[in-house]
Amino acid sequence: MNHYTANLRDIEFCLFDLLKREDVLGKSIYSELDRDTVMGMLEEMKRLSENDLAASFVDGDRIGVDFNPATGDAKLPPSFIKSYRAYMDNEWWRIDAPAEIGGTVIPASLRWAIAEMVLGSNPSIHIYASGTSFAHVAYALGNDQQKKLAKLMVDNDWGATMMLTEPEAGSDVGAGRSKAVEQPDGTWHITGTKRFITSGDSDLNENIIHYVLARREGGGPGTKGLSLFLIPKFMFDFETGALGKRNGVYVTKVEHKMGLNVSSTCEMNLGEKEPAVGYLLGDVHEGIAQMFKVIEFARMMVGTKAIATLSAGYQQALAYAKTRVQGGDMKLMTDKASPRVTIIHHPDVRRSLMVQKSYSEGMRALVLYTASIQDSLAIARAEGKEKSVIDDLEALNDLMLPVVKGYGSEKSWTLLGTESLQTFGGSGFTQDWPLEQYVRDAKIDTLYEGTTAIQGLDFFFRKIVKDGGRAIGLLGKEIATFAQTGGVHSAEKAALLKSLGDLNAIIAVLVGYAMESQEKPEEIYKVGLNTSRCLMAVGEIITAWLLIRQADIAAEKLPNAGKDVDFYNGKIASAKFFVANMLPHISSDRAIVEATDNSIMEISESAF
């Protein structure tokens, strides 16, 4: 039996009971879909992920990437290639391709529900298969020739990478030194070194298209001087796709990592052996704006990956707790002869399991809620809705992305180690169970595509301050309106409303510090000391809101629940537990933010 069990019942509940996705199916751009079709797709992915995809999860970790430094080629385990081919040969790539070049138009909510199962079962498959989503960017932003390239990428299953990071320019992308020089034929020659490049090379695809940020000759400093170039591993014929000579982009090293070992993370050299020929995307020098189309997708993927892994960890921990016999019932602890019980009978194990359950279910809803905004945005654009409607949806989506990525990855990684693995005791530290691999694989989620600290800075300065508080205000109003509806969970809603007030106070204090920094620059440090805290608080509020909404639905359905009685009771229990145990921390966060001073910034380095 493979390691992964998909929680399709909860995915279905989120999509159709919580988020009412039937309201968008059969209409507008999703006119060819109905609930039965959607469930058929999800059930097929459940089968595929639990079997073919999950089958090489352990092999991928233990065998890893075989890199030949003499040739610069990377090879993957045969079992992993078989799993990858199962995904691609069953044509799941179509969910990311534009319809014009063979894609299938589906709602983002369905796309990310499918992705959860892929990412939970074997995340590197989804990562390597992202060539289609990269092709979508080339098709949307490219010139006529590059649209042909996008079709070749889709038709021929070419891989793709995103090349931003350099040895001296990590998160500070604008410090990149890679250089691009235009040639008489309109191509560009790019030179430089990139590092931490995911999927930099493998034997999965006959060709790889590298999306490379480089500073054009004469380009100014910072991010504004960067352009985005498409650099193939092999040159090719734009009409037929026939491969030509090797291009001058080579892997010089494959990183030895803590986890995600079958994903080739590479150092890449451009233009040292021979020219690295590239094509300026769209014939415009808008590199950062273009690359953010890829980054936004990647951040959604990272958050979904993290949350999918937490769900997998919880499923493993729950199954173990129901079968592992250890100790007697606590209420009989004075009776040394009392029967031994499974550990799910112990209070602290139950607490731990409920922490995992409430977060994994709440953050699944967080991902799919964000995707539902993307559904509405796609429909609004297709139907030519008013600009104000589109602007609001874009702002809400932008607001949610750092929450999905930053909050989702941070909470998932922490809980996998402190709760899911801990449920197994010493056995969790061994390779007999998949938890230790989950923990190692999930740590990267807090780091790549922008660390948690960077997500916090982006969230506050770009998604709140620069936005003028519009999106956070729209979301806050929706949550407040719900929290005032009373009903069966009136106590939980009152607690949510109080926490929302604490969050609004946190944001107001941080905005105040930012404004004061215009006169006293050092006041901005107080913001920087708390942006991650603010991001986490927002994530807790949204998660609590979505859990209580689920509990309301469950309470309504309970009288006629039939075989789903335990499922709905579990929904109510998750919401009550989360509100009682997690939301009170936001009041403490408010007190911390309000009392922040700059003393930590005034300590000398030698005092650390």
DSSP annotation of 103 reads -
Q: CB-side exposure of 251: number of CA atoms within 13 Å?
A: 27
Catalytic choice (449, 492, 540, 605)? 449
One DSSP character per residue, 500-565 reads HHHHHHHHHHHHHHHHHTTTSGGGHHHHHTTHHHHHHHHHHHHHHHHHHHHHHHHHHHGGG-GGGH
Neighbours of 243 (CB within 10 A): 15
Closest to 451 (Cα-Cα) out of 552, 353, 531 = 531
E strands within 222-356? 226-232, 234-236, 243-246, 249-254, 265-270, 276-280, 325-328, 340-342
Amino acid (1-letter code) at residue 198:
T
DSSP conformation letters of 13-26: IIIIIIS-GGGTTT
Please tell me whether residue 580 adopts helix, strand or coil conformation: helix
Contacts of residue 246, defined as CB under 8 A and 6 or more positions apart, other chains included, come to 233, 234, 235, 274
User: Distance (Å, rounded) from C-alpha 576 to C-alpha 335?
Assistant: 33
Rounded to whole angstroms, the Cα distance separating 580 from 489 reads 12
Distances (CA, A) of 473 to 55, 156, 477: 45, 45, 6
Check if the beta carbon of residue 24 is closer than 8 Å to that of residue 374. no
Q: Give the residue among 516, 503, 519 at the shortest CA–CA distance from 593.
A: 503
Residue 45 and residue 50: Cα distance in Å, rounded?
8
Q: State the residue for tokens 């590479």.
A: 266
Phi and psi based region of residue 263 (left: phi greater than 0; alpha: psi -120 to 50; beta: remaining):
beta
Helix (H) or strand (E) holding 216, with range, is strand 208-216
β-bridge pairing 340-342 and 325-328: antiparallel
Two tokens at 246? 């090797």
Strand partners, 300: none
Q: Which two structure tokens, joined as six digits, stand for 492?
A: 């939980």
SS3 sequence, 418-485? HHHHHHCHHHHHCCCCCHHHHHHHHHHHHCCCCCHHHHHHHHHHHHHHCCCCHHHHHHHHHHHHHHCC
Query: In the annotation, is 540 catalytic?
Result: no
CB of 263 closer than 8 Å to CB of 199: yes
**Distance between CA atoms of residues 460 and 529, nearest Å:** 12
Q: Please identify every residue annotated as catalytic.
A: 449
